[in-house]
Structure 1
C-alpha cells in the first residue's frame, strides 16, 4: 500500500536536462525526496540534439551552484569559466557526470515519458480536499507515479513552431515536412549532404537562425553551389544583428555582427517582409526535388522562393496538454505564468535584463505545480540557463520549508554594457575555430594595417587575408571590429 503522507511522497521532476538536473541537485542538498522522470534513454537528450552548436554564454553562466558543489565533492574538475562550450561539451563535461552522481543517479528513471498529470481521485473541477491530494503522473506505459509536488522541466524541444507566419502551419507544410529541418541542423556533420551545393532558405530571425546562416556561409566556402536565403517577416533585420559590441555576452554580439556583414556583402540573400503562407512541393523526392515557399502580403499579393531545403528556425512553444487537468493561470500572449510574463516580455527585455524570479512568480492556482526552464517562458525567447537554475533553487527551498531562502535573490545576470574588443574577438575567434595565439596574431597584424586602411573592417580583412584565414571567417571578424571601432563615439586605435 502506498503511503500518501505528503512528507513521504517524492517531488517529481520532469526532464533530466540542465534545469531538471539542477532541480534534482538542490532537492538532494536539502534531503527532499525526489524522482526524475526522463522520456529519453539518457540525460539531456534535447541538448545532445544540438551538440554541435557552440553556446554564446561561457561556462560560468551554464552551471548550477548546487550541481557544482555536488560534483566538486566527487572530485569533478570544473571547466575554464571563460571558455565557450558546445552542447556536446555541456553534456560530456557537466550534465552526464552530474546525472551519474550517486546522489542523483538512483533517483532518475529513463524511458519514463509523462503523458498526463492530475490529482489522485480528483479532476480539475473539484476543489474540496484538493491541496491534500497527491499528484498522479501517468507514464506512456500506463504506470502512475504519485508525488507531493511537480517541477516540470520538460522544455519545449519537442514542440517547434510552424513555418507559417501567423503561427499556424503554412498550407502544405505537413506534406512538405521531409524538406524542412527544425532547430539547428549540423551542416558540417550529419546534415551536410542536405545543404552542400544546394539552396537553403532559413526562416526565422533569432539566434538559431543566425547560427545556421553563419554555418551555411562557412559551408559555402568549401562546397561550390551552396546558396543561402534568409526569410524574415519584418522589413528590417537590425534586431537580429543584436547589440554587436555592446552585447553583454561578446559571443552573442559577435554572431550578430558576423551575420550583418554576410548580408551586406551578399553572401546571404535577405528576403524581408516574407510571411510564409504556403509550402508547395515541386516533386516527391526530398533528395532531388525542391519546394516553393510562398509569401502572401496583407493586400493579397504573393511572391515566392524556391529551395532545396528549408530550415525552420522559428523557435519552440510549450506543450501544456499533459496538465490539462490542473488549474493553471497562463498569460494569454506568452503562455507563461501570469506573474512571470511581464518580467520576460521580449518586447521589453533581453535575456540579460530579465528580473530574477522564483517560486512566487512561477506559482499557479494549482499548489505544488511549477513549470520551469524554457517551458516556463512560454513563447518568449529570452531564457538563459542561469535563470532556470535560480528558479529551481527558489522552488527547492520553498518545498523544504525554507521560505527565507526561497524569497531571496541569488542571481546576477550578465550586465548590459560595452564589452572589450579583445573579449568579443576571442569569443568569435573561438567559434570560428581559431586558437588564442591565432587571435592575438590577428590583432597584431590588424594594428599594422590600420594606418593604411579606410576602416577597421578593412584592416581586419587585410590582416585575415595575410594570415590565410578563410573568407567567411574574415568577414565575421571584420564585422565585429567595424562594430567596435567605426561606431559613432567608439574608441579609436
Structure 2
C-alpha cells in the first residue's frame, strides 16, 4: 500500500521535484466509475490509489439500496472490470435482470474491490479535503506541471497527505443535494426544518413507512427520483387513506415530466412516465405547477410552504414531511487549489456543458465524449462521472465508463485510443431544442454500449424509487 507523505514537506522551491512517473494516479470515489477507472489502470499495468469517504465501496449507492435501476446487468458493468471478474470464480449476474442498488454493490462493486489487484489500494473512511500541486498554490505557474499532486485526506480523525502523478475525481454529487428553494440558496428557514426533510430517496414502503403513513407529504422536484417517490406514496395511500400527497414542480407542462413513455429506449424508464400519468389522472396526488418555493415556516410541528404560481403567491399548509428530489450539485471546494474550469451555470466540465445543458437539450442523450472534453487547465487532472455533469441531470453510468476508459488511455500515452470515443445511449423518446438553438441532441451517435445509472422498478409491486 502506498504510504502517506509527512505533512511538514520541504518546499518545492528548496529542492528539485521528484520524478513523478513512479507515483500512482489518485482516484477519488470508490463507486462504479471510480472502480472502473481502477480496472482500466490495471489492464494497462499502471498503479493507482482510491480514496473513499464512506466505510465501504459504493457507499452512496447504499443510501438508495432499495432502488431498482433502469437498465439490465449487461449494461451496468464496465468492460475492463467484467474481464477481471470473469478471470475469477465470480458468478456473473443474468444479463437481462435489472438490479437494485444493493445488488449492484453486493454482486459487482464489492467483488471488484475485493480483487487482489484492487483491494490493497482502496482507502475507506478517507475523505479528501483538498488537492494541490506539491508546494504550490494555484496562483503559481512556473514548473507546476513537473510537480506531483498532493492529496489531503482525513482518515478516521487523522490527517494524511499522499502524492500522485495524476488525479481523477469521481466523487459524484449525491452527498450534496440542491436546496428546496427555487433560487438555489439554502436559507435558515430550510435548515430549521431539516429533520422533516429527506433529500434522498425514502424507502416509503419499507423502513420509512411509519414516517410517511397518514401524513401530509410534499414532494419537490420533477425528475425520476420524485416520480418514484410519488409512486410509492401512492401505494402507501392505498393502505393508509389519510396519507395526503402534494407534488410541487417548477415545469409548467406535465407532459415534459412524463417523458417518452412507450418511446423510451429503456422500457423500465418509460414505464415510470406511464404510471405517474395514471396516478395523477386518478387524483391520488395534488399537483402544484409551476410552483416556485420561497419560504418554509414551522407551525405547531407542521410546515407552511410559501411560493408562487405564475407570479401569484401560493401557500401549502400543514405539511408533515418534505421529500426534496431537486437534484444535486458538485462539491468543488476540494479542487480550489488546482486550475479547474467549470461551466458558470451547470458547474460541469466546461467543454461538456453544451452537450448536456438542460436549457437546450430536452432529451437525456449526450454525444460521445472523453478525455478531450474533460481536459482541465491543470494537466493530468480530470473530473468524471456524475460530478463532470455538475448540476445537469440524466447522467448515465455507461457515460462514466467511457470517460475513464478514454482518460486512462491518455494518461498512459495512447492518444489514438483516447480520441476514439464510442458510445450509444438509449433514447428517452423525447427530442427537441430549447432556447438557444443548435443542432438536435438526438441525432445518430456511434454504437458501443447503452446503459443508465438511473433507476426504476421492473414491476409495480416492487420498490419504485430512483436515483434521479
- TM tier, smaller: 0.7 to 0.9
Counterpart of 1:88 in structure 2 is 102
Residues 171 and 278 in structure 1, CA contact (< 8 A), matched pair in contact too: no
Residues 306-344 of structure 1 deviation map (CA, whole Å, 9 limit, x = unaligned):
311000000100010011011111111111111111111
User: Deviations for 1:433-492, whole angstroms, at most 9, x for unmatched residues?
Assistant: 48xxxxxxxxxxxxxxxxxxxxxxxxxxxxxxxxxxxxx99xxxxxxxxxxxxxxxxxxx
Unaligned segments of structure 2, at least 5 residues: 6-16, 431-454
Change (3 A) 1:88 1:244: same
Alignment partner, residue 144 of structure 1: 161
- Which of 53, 61, 77 is equivalent to 1:47? 61
Q: Deviations over 1:254-292 (max 9, x none)?
A: 001100111111011111121111111113xxxxx3111
2:459 to 428, 431, 441: 431
Deviation (angstroms), 1:14: 0.3
Indicate conservation of the 8 Å contact 1:196/1:219, yes or no: yes
Which portions of structure 1, spanning 4 or more consecutive aligned residues, are displaced by more than 4 angstroms?
297-300, 415-418
Secondary structure in 1 matching 2:146: coil
SS in 1 for 2:27: strand
CA shift, 1:428, in A, is 8.0
Contact 1:350 1:382 in 2 (8 A): no
- 1:5, distance to aligned residue in structure 2 (A): 1.9
Question: 1:322: which partner in 2?
Answer: 334
Bigger shift: residues 225-234 or 252-261: 225-234
The structural deviation recorded for 1:416 is 5.5
Partner of 1:199: 216
CA–CA distance in 1 between the matches of 2:174 and 2:353? Answer: 20
Shift, 1:150, TM fit: 0.4
What does 1:266-415 correspond to in 2, within 5 Å? 266-283=283-300, 289-296=301-308, 299=311, 301-349=313-361, 352-415=364-427
TM-score scaled by structure 2? 0.87
Structure 1: distance between partners of 2:269 and 2:293 = 27
**Larger Rg: 1 or 2?**
1
Deviation at 1:74, TM superposition (A): 0.9
Deviation by residue 1:163-202 (Cα, 9 ceiling, x = unmatched): 0011112561010101100021111222111101111110
CA RMSD between the two structures: 2.1
- TM-score under structure 1 length normalisation: 0.82
**2:123 matched to 1:106?**
no
Greater relative contact order: 1 or 2 (C-alpha under 8 angstroms, separation 6 or more)?
Answer: 2
SS in 2 for 1:221: helix
- The alignment of Structure 1 onto Structure 2 pairs a total of residues equal to 423
* 8 Å contact kept, 1:18–1:95: yes
Who is 2:226 aligned against? 209
**Are the counterparts in 1 of residues 371 and 403 from structure 2 also a CA contact under 8 Å?**
yes
- Cα deviation, residue 350, structure 1: 5.9
Q: Hey, what's the Cα distance between the residues in 2 that align with 1:8 and 1:146?
A: 10
**Cα separation, 1, equivalents of 2:456 and 2:210:** 26
CA distance in 1, matches of 2:361, 2:104: 26
Higher percent of residues as helix: 1
Tell me which residue corresponds to 1:231: 248
Secondary structure of residue in 2 paired with 1:172: helix
Offset from partner CA, 1:372-394 (integer Å, 9 cap, x none) = 10100001002000000000001
Checking the alignment, whether the CA contact within 8 Å between 1:171 and 1:277 is kept in structure 2 is: no
Map residues 170-181 of structure 1 onto 2, 5 A cutoff.
Answer: 170=187, 172-181=189-198
How far, CA to CA, are the matches of 2:229 and 2:84 in structure 1? 35
- Tell me the CA shift for residue 206 of structure 1: 0.4
